[in-house]
């Protein structure tokens, strides 16, 4: 039944010329990336093509996890697809949570518990320097391409703002003058974010191919 639903979804997917499968169930990420991609492209998430299972992220690097997800989706669909993985790297705690950012406080990926654990570990630390890194892997006709983006910042002492997702309320980019990602609009965030920087490289690549 799952294979039939994927083929059914892809029968519509292939009717339009410039569509990409995003190897994620995360609607927040999809919205951010859709805002960055040229309007000639339309993104379909895994749920939208009927691929509902979770893809195990077992690699020890961000690039490795993005490759796992993109390869899995390409093998299932044979459509151009891309995947990303993002990590928050905090200097004072040895680069953690890093590749384990989404499941820092447990496998359920609860953002509130992740932030609470991070703030507790950072309590009393003077060095609050951190950076977000995103890696995007794109597969087209079986060929793999890798793009990355980094934004420097610091971990705040408490949460600020209600926008965004993940660690956004506790990460203040250097360029933002003290504001966290969660205090920015999506358009403001997309000017400087790690994901925006990686996706912009991806977009420039796509434009060059066209």
Distance (Å, rounded) from C-alpha 70 to C-alpha 59?
A: 13
Is 85 known to be catalytic? yes
Q: Which residue has the tokens 């003077």?
A: 126
Which residue reads 């039939």 in tokens?
Answer: 4
Query: What is the C-alpha separation between 160 and 38, in angstroms, rounded?
Result: 31
48, HSE (Cβ side, Cα atoms, 13 Å): 15
Catalytic residue among 47, 80, 85, 148: 85
49-76: b or e for each residue (b if 16 or more CB lie within 10 Å)?
bbbeeebebeeeebbebbbbbbbbbbeb
Neighbour count for residue 200 (Cβ, 10 Å): 16
Separation of alpha carbons 171 and 128, rounded Å: 10
Q: What is the DSSP string of 153-197?
A: EEE-SS---SSSSTTGGGEEEGGGTT--GGGS-HHHHHHH-HHHH
Catalytic residue annotation: 85
């Amino acid at each position: 039944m799952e294979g039939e639903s994927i083929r059914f979804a892809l029968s519509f997917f292939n009717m339009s010329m410039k569509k990409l499968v995003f190897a994620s169930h995360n609607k927040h990420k999809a919205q951010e990336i859709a805002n960055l991609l040229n309007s000639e492209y339309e993104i379909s998430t895994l749920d939208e093509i009927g691929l509902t299972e979770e893809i195990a992220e077992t690699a020890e690097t961000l690039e490795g996890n993005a490759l796992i997800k993109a390869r899995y989706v390409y093998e299932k669909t044979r459509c151009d697809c891309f995947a990303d993985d993002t990590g928050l790297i905090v200097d004072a705690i040895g680069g953690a949570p890093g590749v384990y950012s989404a499941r820092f406080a447990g496998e359920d990926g609860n953002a509130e518990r992740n932030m609470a654990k991070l703030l507790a570990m950072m309590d009393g630390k003077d060095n609050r320097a951190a950076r977000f890194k995103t890696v995007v892997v794109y597969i087209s006709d079986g060929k793999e391409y890798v793009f990355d983006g980094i934004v420097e910042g610091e971990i705040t002492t408490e949460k600020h703002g209600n926008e965004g997702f993940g660690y956004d309320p506790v990460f203040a980019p250097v360029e933002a003058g003290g504001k966290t990602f969660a205090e920015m609009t999506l358009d403001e965030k997309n000017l400087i974010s790690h994901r925006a920087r990686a996706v912009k490289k991806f977009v420039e690549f796509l434009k060059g191919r066209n």
